Amino acid sequence: MLDGIIEEILIKEEELEERIAQLGEKITNYYNQDDEIVMVCILRGGVMFMADLARQIKLPVILDFMDVTSYEGGTTTTGNVRIIKDLEESIGDKHVLIVEDIIDTGLTLKHVINMLKTRNPKSIKVCTLLDKPERRTEKHVEIDWNGFEIPNKFVVGYGLDYEEMYRNVPFIFVPKPEVYEG
């Protein structure tokens, strides 16, 4: 399936496992023991990370999912993310932990945070597996926990796709340019 497709393996399976265990411990220690956390996975890229991270958090957690899409070519900076699938849980007065695959420009995250804030949660924190700081336009968007800082390269695997493919690959890789240049 991956023959001739991989340019470079960026993060190996064991590295993901080790780092996610560390993140889980940090997050566990940050909250109070009896705090209930609503983990909000941003679909679909965040699913693998959510599943593995949740098992490393030793607190009562509820798992919920949200799918959003960004409007292309929007001229305003607010309201250009549309909810495709909303949360099932009400998050009023609850601790929310947003779980993202990758923060690129930061726009998606900014809009998700703004939307969730209107529901008056007790707190909103963000944990992302990958961060591409070079691409950030939303400088004020804060990331509380980050797995790996990566260079400005298109990456796939472990939840991240190229045209919906490769999400099931258990490591993160840079595909050969031929893959997406046709």
Distances (CA, A) of 126 to 16, 25, 108, 112, 114: 18, 15, 12, 11, 13
The C-alpha atoms of residue 14 and residue 19 are separated, in whole angstroms, by 9
Q: Which residues pair with 156 in a beta bridge?
A: 173
Q: Nearest approach, Cβ of 2 to ligand XMP (angstroms)?
A: 15
Return the number of the residue (43 or 62) whose C-beta is nearest Mg ion.
43
Q: Nearest approach, Cβ of 164 to ligand XMP (angstroms)?
A: 10
Residue 25's SS3 state is helix
Q: Nearest approach, Cβ of 156 to ligand XMP (angstroms)?
A: 5
Query: Does the annotation mark 104 as catalytic?
Result: yes
Return the number of the residue (11 or 103) whose C-beta is nearest ligand XMP.
103
Q: Which of 104, 131, 144, 161 is catalytic?
A: 104
Q: What are phi and psi of 4, to 5 degrees?
A: 75, 10
Where do contacts with Mg ion occur on this chain (CB under 5 A)?
Answer: 161
Catalytic positions, please? 104
